Chain A
Amino acid sequence: MTATAVESRSRTGSGSASRSRRRGVSPLILAFVLVPFVIEAIWVFWPALQGFWLALTSWDGLSAPRFIGFGNFGDMVSDPIFRTALKNTAIWLVLFGGLSVIGGFGMALLLQRERRGVGIYRAALFTPVVFSLVVTALIWRVFYQPDGLVDTVFRTVGLGNFVRPWLADPDTALYAVIVPALWRQIGYVMVLYLAGLKAVDPALYEAAKVDGASAWQRTRYVTIPQLKGVNSVVLSVIVIDSLRSFDIVWSMTKGGPYHSSELLSTYMYSTAFQSTQLGYASALAVVIFVLALAVILGYLIRAFREES
C-alpha cells in the first residue's frame, strides 16, 4: 500500500469530481484546510520555533533575551538538579511505562473473552482513566497521610516498621507518586490492548487449537506477533506520556522533597514560572523535545504508512 495506489485510485474516480480536481480545488475547500492549519500554526508551530530560539538565550523575562548560544546546555551538565530530574525521568519511563504495559496487557489477556461479569471487571479497571490526574493525586494524598489508609493497612498486618511519611521522605516520594500514576494508566493501556486483541482473527486461534497448541503457546505464538501494530502505538503513547508527565507529580510533591521526585517536566515548569530563568527553562524543554522526537518520528512513520 503506497502513495501511488491512492493516487491512481483517486484518479480513476469518475465524473465531475475528478474534472474539478484537475481544474484545482475550490476556494472554500482551501479555506476549510487553511483556517485550521493557520490556527495551529499560530498556537503551536510558531511558539515551538520561538521555544527553540529562547533555548539559546539567557532571559529573566524582564530585559530583552540575550543570545548565549549553547550556554544553557553547558550549564545543564553541571546542574545536579537537572541530573536528578533526568535520572528520575528515566526511572519514570521504565517503571511507569514498563509496569503499565505489563499490567495493561496482562489484564487485557485476562479480560479479552466475552463472558459473564467481564464487563464489570473491565469497567472497574477502567474507571480511574475518567478522573483527572489532579483528582487521582488528591485521592492518593489522602491515603498517604500519616493516619491514612496505607499506614493503617501496614500497621494492621504487622508491618508497622514500613510506616513512613511517604511523600515527604526523599527515598520514597518518587515511587509513592508512580503508584497512583500506574493505577490510572493500567486501565488505559488495557483498553488499547483489548481493541488490538479484538482485531486478531479468531480463525488463527482455532487453527492453533486444532494443532494442539496450549493456551500459553497460543498467546506466545499467535497473539503476541499479531499485536505488533498495537505494541508500537502503546509504546509511543507511553514514552510521550512519560516525558509529558507533570500533573500528578506537581499535585503530589511539586518535585520535592529536595527535588527527589523531580522530573524534567516539573523542573522545566518551576524554572520557568517560579525562578523565571526563561532561557534555561526553554533549553530544558528542548531536551524533553529531543527525547520525545525519536518516538514521535517512529509514530509518524507508522501513521504515514497507515495513511497510504
Chain B
Amino acid sequence: MIRRTGYHVAMSIVSFLWVAPILWVIVISFRSFDDVAANGLGSLPHSFTLSTYKSAWEDADEFRALINSLLVTIPAVLLSLGLASIAAYGLARYSIPFRRTILLLMLMGNLLPPQILLIPISRFVELIGYYDTLIALIAVHVGFGLGFYTFVLHGFMRDLPREIQEAATIDGAGPGRIYSSVILPLTRPALAALGALSFTWIFNDLLWSITVIRSGEKMPVTPALLGLQGLFVSSWNVIAAGTVIAAVPTVAVFLRFQKHFVGGLAIGAVK
C-alpha cells in the first residue's frame, strides 16, 4: 500500500516536471510585454493578453508559414505513402528479380545521413529550375522518405495471408485491382501509423527547408519560427506564442491518431 502510494507520488512528480516546460511556455505566451519586462520570465504571471498571438500570427506572418507547411506536408505524405505502398506491394507479393536487394537499397537510402545529400540536392533543384519552390521541398521529402515507408509497408503486406490474393486472382482480378481493393484496405493500420508519423516528420523539418527554400514568404513554419527571433528580439512572450502556434498542427495529428502514432514509432523499431 505504502509502496504503491510512493510509486504514484514519484511518477506524478516526474510526469509533472516533464510537462512543466510546455505549460510554462504556454503561460508566458499569454503574458504582456510590460509584465515580462517588470517581473522577468521566471516569475508567475501578472497579466493576461492575446496580443502576443496577434503579433505572431499577423506581424510575423505565421499564418502564411503554416499554410506553406501544410502545402508541403499533405502532398508529401500522400505521395510518399502512395509510392511506397505500390513498391511494397510489388516487392512483397510478387517475385520481382533482386527484390531483396532493391528493398535493402531503398532502406539504405533512407538511413544515409542527409548531410551527404544537401549540397548535390540544392544544386540539382537549382539546375532544374525549382530552387526556392515548395515543389522542390515536396520532392525531397518524398525521395528521402520512400525507403523507410516501403520497408515498413513491405513487412506488413508480406504477412497478409496468401489465400486472399489467390481468391481474388481466381475471380479474375489483375494485379492493379488486387492492390487497390484487396491489399491496400488490409494495410490501413500501417498506413495510418506511417501517415501520422510522416506528417510530424515532414511538418517539423528544418534542415531541408533551409536548404532548398530561400525567400521568407515561402518558408514553412519551422524555419519561420526561427526567424521570429530576429523579428521580436527578446520579446520572448511573442516567441512563446509563435512556438505554441507552430506546435498546434502536430499536436492535433497526435491527439487524433494517438494510438497509430505511438504504434508507428514502435513498428519502425521493433519490426
Contact = CB atoms under 8 A, between A and B. Distances in A.
- Which of B83, B119, B239, B265 gathers most chain A CB within 10 Å? B119
A214 interface: no
Contacts of B169: 15-17
Contacts of A288: 113, 115-116
Nearest to B206: A247
Interface in A180-216: 183, 187-188, 191-192, 194-196, 199
Interface in B23-41: 24-25, 28, 40-41
A268 B203 CA distance: 23
Nearest to A227: B270
A3 B22 CA distance: 49
Contacts of A42: 143
| Interface SS majority for chain A | helix
B94 A285 contact: no
A304 interface: yes
A25 B95 CA distance: 7
A36 B83 contact: yes
A265 B118 CA distance: 11
Contacts of B225: 134-135, 138
Contacts of A81: none
Contact of B18 (A50, A124, A148, A199): A124
Contacts of A141: 239
Contacts of A15: 166, 169-170
B112 to A, nearest CB: 6
A25 to B, nearest CB: 5
B206 A192 contact: no
A35 B113 contact: no
A95 interface: no
Contact of B200 (A26, A117, A130): A130
A45 interface: yes
Contact of B139 (A43, A45, A46): A43
A219 interface: no
B95 A134 contact: no
B175 to A, nearest CB: 5
A125 B169 CA distance: 48
A222 interface: no
A119 to B, nearest CB: 10
Given A130-B261, A132-B205, A135-B222, 8 more contacts: A48-B120, A50-B120, A244-B114, A246-B115, A265-B115, A268-B115, A282-B116, A282-B119
Contact of B175 (A29, A48, A306): A29
Given A110-B11, A303-B151, A269 B118 contact: yes
Interface of B: 7-8, 11-12, 14-16, 18-19, 21-22, 24-25, 28, 40-43, 83-84, 86-87, 89-91, 94-97, 99-100, 102-124, 139-140, 142-144, 146-147, 150-151, 155, 162, 165-166, 169-170, 174-176, 179, 200, 203-207, 210-211, 222-223, 225-226, 229, 234, 236, 239-240, 242-243, 246-247, 250-251, 254, 261-262, 265-266, 269-271
Contacts of A250: 206
Contacts of B118: 268-269, 272-273, 285
A21 interface: yes
8 closest pairs, A vs B, by CB? A43-B143, A152-B42, A132-B204, A147-B40, A195-B266, A124-B15, A47-B120, A33-B90
A37 B175 CA distance: 19
Nearest to B79: A39
A148 B42 contact: yes
Given A44-B109, A306-B271, A29 B104 contact: no
B113 A191 contact: no
Interface of A: 3, 10, 13-17, 21, 25-26, 28-30, 32-33, 35-37, 39-40, 42-48, 50-52, 54, 110-111, 117, 120-121, 124-135, 138-143, 145, 147-153, 183, 187-188, 191-192, 194-196, 199, 229-230, 233-234, 237, 240, 243-244, 246-247, 250-251, 264-265, 268-269, 272-273, 278, 281-282, 284-286, 288-289, 292, 296, 299-300, 303-304, 306-307
B81 to A, nearest CB: 11
A269 B115 contact: yes
A296 B200 CA distance: 24
B240 A142 contact: yes
Given A15-B170, A152-B40, A183-B21, A289 B87 contact: no
B21 A131 contact: no
Contacts of A299: 111
Contacts of B116: 47-48, 51-52, 282, 285-286, 288-289
